[in-house]
Amino acid sequence: MIIVERLREIVEGLGWVFHYGRQDFQNLVEASAEDDPLWYFFLSPVTTTYDYSVGGGFRSGEQYEGYFMILTKSDIDQEYDAQTGERTIDEGKWRQHILPKLQEIAGSFEKEIICSPDLILVYLRIIDAINQFDTNFDGIAVNFKIRKV
Protein backbone atom coordinates (compact mmCIF):
# COMPACT_ATOMS: atom_id res chain seq x y z
CA MET A 1 0.00 0.00 0.00
CA ILE A 2 1.14 3.52 -0.72
CA ILE A 3 -0.08 5.62 2.22
CA VAL A 4 0.15 8.88 0.26
CA GLU A 5 -2.46 7.66 -2.22
CA ARG A 6 -4.63 6.27 0.57
CA LEU A 7 -4.59 9.63 2.39
CA ARG A 8 -5.32 11.40 -0.90
CA GLU A 9 -8.38 9.19 -1.36
CA ILE A 10 -9.63 9.89 2.20
CA VAL A 11 -9.01 13.64 2.01
CA GLU A 12 -10.59 14.14 -1.41
CA GLY A 13 -13.56 12.04 -0.24
CA LEU A 14 -14.04 14.60 2.54
CA GLY A 15 -14.07 17.40 -0.05
CA TRP A 16 -10.69 18.89 0.92
CA VAL A 17 -7.91 19.93 -1.48
CA PHE A 18 -4.92 17.55 -1.26
CA HIS A 19 -1.28 18.59 -1.79
CA TYR A 20 1.75 16.35 -1.30
CA GLY A 21 5.39 17.41 -1.15
CA ARG A 22 8.00 19.32 0.74
CA GLN A 23 6.91 22.55 2.39
CA ASP A 24 8.92 24.74 0.04
CA PHE A 25 6.77 23.39 -2.82
CA GLN A 26 3.57 23.61 -0.76
CA ASN A 27 4.31 27.30 -0.23
CA LEU A 28 3.58 27.76 -3.95
CA VAL A 29 -0.11 26.95 -3.39
CA GLU A 30 -2.35 29.99 -3.45
CA ALA A 31 -5.95 30.31 -2.34
CA SER A 32 -8.42 30.92 -5.14
CA ALA A 33 -9.67 34.15 -3.50
CA GLU A 34 -9.24 36.26 -0.37
CA ASP A 35 -12.32 34.64 1.14
CA ASP A 36 -11.57 31.12 -0.16
CA PRO A 37 -13.58 28.70 2.05
CA LEU A 38 -11.77 25.52 0.90
CA TRP A 39 -9.88 23.30 3.33
CA TYR A 40 -6.35 22.45 2.16
CA PHE A 41 -4.57 19.28 3.30
CA PHE A 42 -0.79 19.63 2.98
CA LEU A 43 1.02 16.30 3.42
CA SER A 44 4.80 16.38 3.81
CA PRO A 45 6.95 13.40 2.73
CA VAL A 46 6.11 10.30 4.76
CA THR A 47 8.58 7.93 6.43
CA THR A 48 7.77 4.25 5.81
CA THR A 49 9.21 1.63 8.16
CA TYR A 50 9.12 -2.06 7.27
CA ASP A 51 9.14 -4.55 10.15
CA TYR A 52 10.66 -7.97 9.59
CA SER A 53 10.17 -11.24 11.42
CA VAL A 54 12.82 -12.46 13.81
CA GLY A 55 15.56 -13.88 11.66
CA GLY A 56 14.56 -11.66 8.73
CA GLY A 57 12.48 -14.29 6.97
CA PHE A 58 9.60 -12.11 5.85
CA ARG A 59 8.12 -8.65 6.19
CA SER A 60 5.78 -8.64 9.17
CA GLY A 61 4.37 -5.12 9.00
CA GLU A 62 4.54 -1.52 7.81
CA GLN A 63 4.32 1.76 9.69
CA TYR A 64 3.95 5.27 8.34
CA GLU A 65 4.99 8.43 10.16
CA GLY A 66 4.65 11.95 8.94
CA TYR A 67 3.26 15.42 9.18
CA PHE A 68 0.32 17.19 7.60
CA MET A 69 -1.55 20.44 7.98
CA ILE A 70 -5.24 21.14 7.44
CA LEU A 71 -5.55 24.84 6.61
CA THR A 72 -7.87 27.52 5.28
CA LYS A 73 -7.20 31.01 3.95
CA SER A 74 -7.05 33.60 6.70
CA ASP A 75 -6.34 37.25 7.34
CA ILE A 76 -2.88 37.90 8.79
CA ASP A 77 -4.30 40.80 10.84
CA GLN A 78 -7.05 38.70 12.40
CA GLU A 79 -6.68 38.23 16.17
CA TYR A 80 -6.01 34.79 17.59
CA ASP A 81 -8.70 34.94 20.28
CA ALA A 82 -9.97 38.52 20.78
CA GLN A 83 -6.81 39.73 22.56
CA THR A 84 -7.38 43.43 21.87
CA GLY A 85 -11.12 43.38 22.47
CA GLU A 86 -11.77 44.96 19.06
CA ARG A 87 -13.38 41.72 17.83
CA THR A 88 -15.44 39.02 19.48
CA ILE A 89 -14.07 35.57 20.29
CA ASP A 90 -16.13 34.18 17.40
CA GLU A 91 -14.22 36.45 14.98
CA GLY A 92 -10.80 35.16 16.05
CA LYS A 93 -8.56 32.64 14.31
CA TRP A 94 -9.19 30.05 17.02
CA ARG A 95 -12.95 29.70 16.50
CA GLN A 96 -13.00 30.43 12.76
CA HIS A 97 -10.04 28.38 11.53
CA ILE A 98 -8.63 26.08 14.23
CA LEU A 99 -11.53 24.72 16.28
CA PRO A 100 -13.52 23.45 13.23
CA LYS A 101 -10.48 21.48 12.06
CA LEU A 102 -9.90 19.97 15.50
CA GLN A 103 -13.54 18.86 15.51
CA GLU A 104 -13.29 17.46 11.99
CA ILE A 105 -10.10 15.51 12.59
CA ALA A 106 -11.67 13.98 15.70
CA GLY A 107 -14.73 13.17 13.60
CA SER A 108 -14.78 12.30 9.91
CA PHE A 109 -11.04 12.07 9.22
CA GLU A 110 -10.27 9.90 12.25
CA LYS A 111 -13.30 7.71 11.54
CA GLU A 112 -12.16 7.09 7.94
CA ILE A 113 -8.86 5.67 9.20
CA ILE A 114 -10.24 3.81 12.23
CA CYS A 115 -12.96 2.16 10.12
CA SER A 116 -10.43 1.11 7.49
CA PRO A 117 -9.91 -2.67 7.69
CA ASP A 118 -6.21 -2.46 6.89
CA LEU A 119 -5.04 0.56 8.95
CA ILE A 120 -4.50 1.20 12.66
CA LEU A 121 -4.21 4.78 13.86
CA VAL A 122 -1.36 4.75 16.39
CA TYR A 123 -1.36 8.45 17.25
CA LEU A 124 -2.16 12.00 16.14
CA ARG A 125 -0.22 14.87 17.76
CA ILE A 126 -1.92 18.17 16.96
CA ILE A 127 -0.93 21.83 17.35
CA ASP A 128 -2.38 25.11 16.06
CA ALA A 129 -0.89 26.39 12.79
CA ILE A 130 -1.10 30.15 12.22
CA ASN A 131 -0.12 32.33 9.23
CA GLN A 132 1.38 29.45 7.28
CA PHE A 133 3.02 30.07 3.91
CA ASP A 134 2.90 33.24 1.86
CA THR A 135 -0.87 32.86 1.45
CA ASN A 136 -1.51 33.09 5.24
CA PHE A 137 -3.34 29.89 6.00
CA ASP A 138 -4.57 28.96 9.51
CA GLY A 139 -5.58 25.60 10.91
CA ILE A 140 -3.83 22.66 12.53
CA ALA A 141 -0.53 20.84 12.12
CA VAL A 142 -0.54 17.10 12.82
CA ASN A 143 2.20 14.54 13.41
CA PHE A 144 0.86 11.04 12.83
CA LYS A 145 1.72 7.37 12.95
CA ILE A 146 -0.38 4.78 11.13
CA ARG A 147 0.26 1.05 11.05
CA LYS A 148 -0.77 -1.24 8.22
CA VAL A 149 -2.58 -4.37 9.43
Q: Summarize pLDDT for 27-50 with one digit per residue, the tens.
A: 878 787 677 789 999 999 999 998
Read off the pTM: 0.90
Q: What is the pLDDT of residue 13?
A: 95
3-state helix, strand, coil in the chain (%, to 5): 25, 35, 35
Q: How confident is the model at residue 1 (pLDDT cuts 50, 70, 90)?
A: low
Q: What is the pLDDT of residue 16?
A: 95
AA identity, residue 142: V
pLDDT tens-digit series, residues 78-117: 888 888 888 888 989 999 999 999 999 999 999 999 999 9
Q: What is the pLDDT of residue 109?
A: 92
Select the more confidently predicted residue: 67 or 27. Answer: 67
Q: 125, 122, 127, 128: which is closest to 149 by C-alpha?
A: 122
